[in-house]
Amino acid sequence: MVGAQCDNFKPMDDLLSRTRAAVWHPCTQMKQLEAAPPLAIARGEGPWLVDADGKRYLDAISSWWVNLFGHCNPRINAAITDQLGKIEHVMLAGATHEPVVQLSERLARLTGLGHAFYASDGASATEIALKMSAHYWRNAGRPEKNGFVSLKNAYHGETVGALSVTDVPLFKATYAPLLRHTKQVPTPDARLAEPGESAEARALRCADALEAYLAEQATGIAAFILEPLVQGAAGMAMYHPIYLGRARELCDRYEVHLIADEIAVGFGRTGTMFACEQALTHGIRPDFICLSKGLTGGYLPLSAVLTTDSVYDAFYDEDTAHGFLHSHSYTGNPLACRAALAVLDIFEHDEIIANNRIKAVEYTRVMEEVSAHKRVRNFRHLGMIWAFDVTDAGPGFANRFHRAALAHGVFIRPIGSTVYVMPPYVVDAGAMRQLADALLACLDEPGV
């Protein structure tokens, strides 16, 4: 503690220089950290992040879309603490435990799919769904069905397999030589509708393009993977639910699995527990669903892939190699499962989906002034997500807006020229008002 004896010693500056020296931050050009230091967060409280100096920031994007019920939620804390006194972790090959069984049973009831397979993050869930799908076709005697289709501008994670079906050039181009070739079909993103074309017509036209591709290539295709209703990393691109129903029909007709990547949109983000429920007219059931992010309320890394009985049955055999021999060390971690069970309890007990519906109407009203701002176009909203594009956003806009918002006590990270808000569900009207005022101030700030 030599530094502490010095009068002008600032613990926060010290932490920032140590993080620059020791930590390689994600999705960050480290050279830019000097000019734009990260927030040094000391603690959290509901939707608020508190830095080392006690300054509070509204976590307007739920810490990369994971947090649902606030930071340091007493109920989730209690569940994890209780589990800590029992068993922190045991491998899930050759052992099982109550939290993982209970979570699997409850996720099956919620999704209509079963046989939950676990990993630790979203990208691994994508990998698992892709591998399971291709392996299913192999077990079914059709090994040539091993290709994948995804949407233009899709995001499914950044490990090598997941990156193959991701379509974000900034993340993908550099690693192109490492990746498997996959097909991207047109995105139903409503912003890309032709003048005079409705979101629904756009979605139907894109479904026709999917059909044209599958009609020709389905014999070599294992699965079509998509983010239902909202393509998050594409800039909260929203599309008409009719696309989901058409995708389901086409996948059935051409014998291609449908993988719903609900990693970002699951657990109530779009207004229903899962986005697939909004497909016209009764929702659709995918062949695989990928879950993560909100699954533990933003507490611990956990992901799950659930699938149909018919997929599961194709692996059930005397032959070991017919089984799904995939594993991660922390598969089904009991602490993470307990956090997830606490999250599901909160959903049920507090009737979160119904209450969010009321909140969403109120918060959309709060955002009205933002939507009417002269720099704002394509204002869009679904469930607990609000987004808009900034007409005159030049290069570096996202970073400038981020810094400007910090000065107003809001932690927000635009994607390109898209500003989006995706707060923890515990946010109240007062905080939303502060958020809307901060957005307006940033939009009006010269040079942002």
C-beta atoms surrounding 332 within 10 Å: 27
Q: Nearer to ligand PLP by C-beta: 260 or 443?
A: 260
In sequence order, what are the beta bridge partners of 419? 388
Span interacting with ligand PLP, options 79-87, 260-268, 273-281, 395-403, rule CB under 6 A = 260-268
CB neighbour list of residue 96: distance below 8 Å, 6 or more residues apart? none
Walk across the sheet containing 147-151 and list its strands. 114-119, 303-307, 288-291, 257-261, 221-226, 147-151, 183-185
Q: Nearer to ligand PLP by C-beta: 297 or 438?
A: 297
Q: Which of 261, 277, 287, 389 binds ligand PLP (CB under 6 A)?
A: 261
Phi, psi of 199 (to 5 degrees): -60, -40
**Min. distance of Cβ 277 from ligand PLP in angstroms?**
17
**283 is an interface residue for ligand PLP by CB under 6 A:** no
**292 is an interface residue for ligand PLP by CB under 6 A:** yes
Q: Which long-range contacts (CB under 8 A, 24 or more apart) does 142-148 make?
A: 144/219, 144/220, 145/219, 145/220, 145/221, 145/222, 145/255, 145/256, 146/220, 146/222, 147/182, 147/183, 147/217, 147/220, 147/221, 147/222, 148/180, 148/182, 148/183, 148/221, 148/222, 148/223, 148/224, 148/225
Query: Does residue 428 sit in helix, strand or coil?
Result: coil
**Straight-line distance from the first to the last Cα atom of the chain, in angstroms, rounded to the nearest whole number:** 40
Q: Nearer to ligand PLP by C-beta: 156 or 248?
A: 156
Angle at 244 (CA atoms; ends 242, 248), nearest 5 degrees: 120
In sequence order, what are the beta bridge partners of 48? 45, 58
Q: Nearer to ligand PLP by C-beta: 66 or 370?
A: 66
104 token code pair? 């699997």
Q: Nearer to ligand PLP by C-beta: 124 or 417?
A: 124
Q: Nearer to ligand PLP by C-beta: 139 or 231?
A: 231
**263 is an interface residue for ligand PLP by CB under 6 A:** yes
Counting DSSP H helices and E strands in the chain, the numbers are: 15, 16
CA gap 172, 163 in Å, rounded: 7
Place of tokens 């029909």: 249
Span interacting with ligand PLP, options 47-55, 256-264, 381-389, 438-446, rule CB under 6 A = 256-264
**Min. distance of Cβ 407 from ligand PLP in angstroms?**
28
Query: What radius of gyration do the chain's Cα atoms show?
Result: 22
Q: How many residues bind ligand PLP (CB under 6 A)?
A: 13
Which residue's CB comes closest to ligand PLP? 122
- Binders of ligand PLP among 132-161, rule CB under 6 A? 155-157
**Min. distance of Cβ 383 from ligand PLP in angstroms?**
15
**227 is an interface residue for ligand PLP by CB under 6 A:** yes
**Min. distance of Cβ 278 from ligand PLP in angstroms?**
16
Q: Nearer to ligand PLP by C-beta: 16 or 66?
A: 66
C-beta atoms surrounding 217 within 10 Å: 14
- Are 73 and 332 in contact by the 8 Å Cβ rule? The answer is no
CA gap 6, 226 in Å, rounded: 55
**232 is an interface residue for ligand PLP by CB under 6 A:** yes
Q: Nearer to ligand PLP by C-beta: 155 or 420?
A: 155
CA gap 326, 98 in Å, rounded: 22
Q: Which of 121, 127, 211, 287 binds ligand PLP (CB under 6 A)?
A: 121
Q: Nearer to ligand PLP by C-beta: 139 or 270?
A: 270
**47 is an interface residue for ligand PLP by CB under 6 A:** no
The distance from CA 401 to its chain's CA centroid, rounded to whole angstroms, is 22
**167 is an interface residue for ligand PLP by CB under 6 A:** no
**118 is an interface residue for ligand PLP by CB under 6 A:** no
Q: Which of 70, 99, 122, 241 binds ligand PLP (CB under 6 A)?
A: 122
Span interacting with ligand PLP, options 28-36, 115-123, 274-282, 389-397, rule CB under 6 A = 115-123
Q: Nearer to ligand PLP by C-beta: 110 or 225?
A: 225
Q: Provide the mask over 345-364, with x wherever binding to ligand PLP is found by CB under 6 A and - wherever it is not.
A: --------------------
**264 is an interface residue for ligand PLP by CB under 6 A:** yes
**Min. distance of Cβ 340 from ligand PLP in angstroms?**
14
69 token code pair? 């019920």
**123 is an interface residue for ligand PLP by CB under 6 A:** yes
Give the interface with ligand PLP as residue ranges (CB under 6 A): 121-123, 126, 155-157, 227, 232, 261, 263-264, 292
